[in-house]
Chains A and B, each alone.
Chain A
């Protein structure tokens, strides 16, 4: 690389150091510029959440609000139909909290079964488990709805949470891959000491699973937090809405008067906050999670 000739036609000769500096400057300029373009729409929404509604559309490309309108947040928080976002956030945290807990905990248990225990029919079960990853939601959605409707569970959290007790193929697979990387010597030592399979899981495997479980929990949380279709189908009364469904209803209410875009963007911005905080706090786990599952897939 360093032996490459510098184009003579420019008439400018640069030392190697200067060239490296120029490369670095060009790199950071270009990559930084594209990076700003990437996050610009999000920044725009955040800034719109502090703007007066008229200001949003008049100075559309401006990122800086003329004046800070924090009342967008208090106005938006009031919600609609007498139900405030306190309720919607409570619902979202119930769904995402328990949903994540159920999904990750049972995925770990199931993964241990697949990774460390030999049993007849394991190959078939494993193949079936993997095949559910490509199953479109649409094909289960209708019979599941009919089932939960017959049980009288529609408009409660049960249809959202109960299926989560079975874990999720994606996380089971990820945790299996992780367990396979744990040496079996400890298992065997524990076995000789008279430890049962459940004992090995709880005392030896589970404590070492923390990184994989954190990765799974992050993904599970943010997919659940963003989930729109399931709550849309099962939660019909506004009292039960999660933030995602509420946001959509909030922005669609239309009717009389001008739409309060400041408040809508304020609530939109706020709804991204839990996911964003988790992303910043656990970035390392997230990146590793995606990279390794991708590579081993």
Chain B
């Protein structure tokens, strides 16, 4: 560092060239990423291809050896059965879309509202943030799912507070709301992301707008929302992907009842694959899920050009 005999620029550039050269190393690179690469090949790529292949077979796991070939290719039979002859399949598709369409936007709206409420320098705001985040910390657990199931019983806490006698799990119109409210209740992670985004909006923008006579709603629609669109987009993508994969809560809280109204897709895949052991059929279902998630993600990305507003490049590193 203290080599002052050479011009600084020359030392710098030479060092940079050497550094770049030194940094390029295929062996070291692949060595370092090898845990992921091996894991990817064994536990992601291979299974994905295997499940594509399985979806064209009638394989079941009961006493059959896959290597010995105790299974047959059945062509598109699984898909045909799924799309044309399995009425439960469509019920589960409907339940899943219902769940995603309500749970994701409601959760995000709630998260944004709370984030705006907590975006203040008042005393005690850290305490509130912790309290509002608590349901999300414990929310993925079986314990909370069990609790949720019990508070929605006919003689449970929710009916008691509302003064109603709704049979939440027996009524086909209400059961989904038990799962949706549970999802909305866990708004913590998107809330924290929104909160970080709100902090980045320069305060003087609001002040300038106020001086120009903009009221709260105008400031919200013209400043907050446009500047938050990249974060709304991020949250929307992540939450949509997660929404399609909800399993534990549906399994514990409703188990798909009543009349398969809450039979979320992953739950049905599990039932077919690990309860009825129709692994070929379940693989076909899983592949449709993969394509569906990819499709919705692509749609969101394609639509982002129309509504996501990126502020110049200054903020980017």
Q: Which A positions have Cβ atoms within 8 angstroms of B? A: 1, 24, 27-28, 31-32, 34-36, 38-39, 41-42, 44-45, 57, 60-61, 106, 109-110, 112-114, 116-120, 122, 125, 128-129, 132-147, 149-150, 163, 165-167, 172, 180, 184, 187-189, 191-192, 197-198, 201, 222-223, 225-226, 228-229, 233, 243-245, 247-248, 251, 261, 264-265, 267-269, 271-272, 275-276, 279, 283, 287, 290-292, 294-295, 297
Bitwise interface map of B from 234 to 273 toward A, beta carbon under 8 Å scored 1, else 0: 1100100100110110011000000000000110011001
- One of B99-107, B124-132, B167-175 at the interface: B124-132
Taking CB atoms, residues of chain A closer than 8 Å to B15 are 188, 192
User: Is there an interface contact between A146 and B185, defined as CB atoms closer than 8 Å?
Assistant: no
User: Is there an interface contact between A229 and B128, defined as CB atoms closer than 8 Å?
Assistant: no
User: Is there an interface contact between A137 and B35, defined as CB atoms closer than 8 Å?
Assistant: no
Partner of B25, one of A34, A119, A192: A119
B146 within 8 Å of A (CB atoms): yes
B290 → A minimal CB distance (Å): 5
Bitwise interface map of B from 187 to 214 toward A, beta carbon under 8 Å scored 1, else 0: 0010011011100100000000010000
Q: How far is the CA of A35 from the CA of B185 in the complex (A)?
A: 11
Taking CB atoms, residues of chain B closer than 8 Å to A128 are 40
Q: How far is the CA of A167 from the CA of B241 in the complex (A)?
A: 20
Taking CB atoms, residues of chain A closer than 8 Å to B30 are 113, 119
B166 → A minimal CB distance (Å): 15
With contact pairs A35-B128, A110-B32, A140-B47 given, residues A294 and B143 touching in the complex (Cβ less than 8 Å): no
B78 → A minimal CB distance (Å): 12
B76 within 8 Å of A (CB atoms): no
Q: How many residues of B contact A (CB 8 A)?
A: 103
B288 → A minimal CB distance (Å): 10
Partner of A35, one of B43, B131, B138, B157: B131
B44 within 8 Å of A (CB atoms): yes
A229 → B minimal CB distance (Å): 5
With contact pairs A35-B131, A163-B43, A297-B234 given, residues A125 and B195 touching in the complex (Cβ less than 8 Å): no
Q: Which B positions have Cβ atoms within 8 angstroms of A? A: 1, 15, 19-20, 22-26, 28-33, 35-40, 42-44, 46-48, 50-51, 54, 61, 65-67, 114, 117-118, 120, 122, 124, 128-135, 137-138, 140-144, 146-148, 150-151, 155-157, 160-161, 185, 189, 192-193, 195-197, 200, 210, 231, 234-235, 238, 241, 244-245, 247-248, 251-252, 265-266, 269-270, 273-274, 279, 282-283, 285-287, 289-290, 293-294, 297, 317
B312 → A minimal CB distance (Å): 16
User: Is there an interface contact between A38 and B294, defined as CB atoms closer than 8 Å?
Assistant: no
With contact pairs A42-B135, A61-B160, A142-B282 given, residues A117 and B289 touching in the complex (Cβ less than 8 Å): no
Q: How far is the CA of A138 from the CA of B269 in the complex (A)?
A: 7
B68 → A minimal CB distance (Å): 11
11 A-B pairs besides A112-B32, A228-B252, A247-B143 with CB distance below 8 A are A28-B122, A38-B132, A110-B33, A113-B32, A117-B28, A135-B290, A138-B285, A146-B279, A165-B35, A197-B32, A251-B146
With contact pairs A116-B23, A134-B293 given, residues A143 and B117 touching in the complex (Cβ less than 8 Å): no
User: Is there an interface contact between A28 and B124, defined as CB atoms closer than 8 Å?
Assistant: yes
Chain B binding surface SS class:
helix
Taking CB atoms, residues of chain B closer than 8 Å to A167 are 35-36, 39
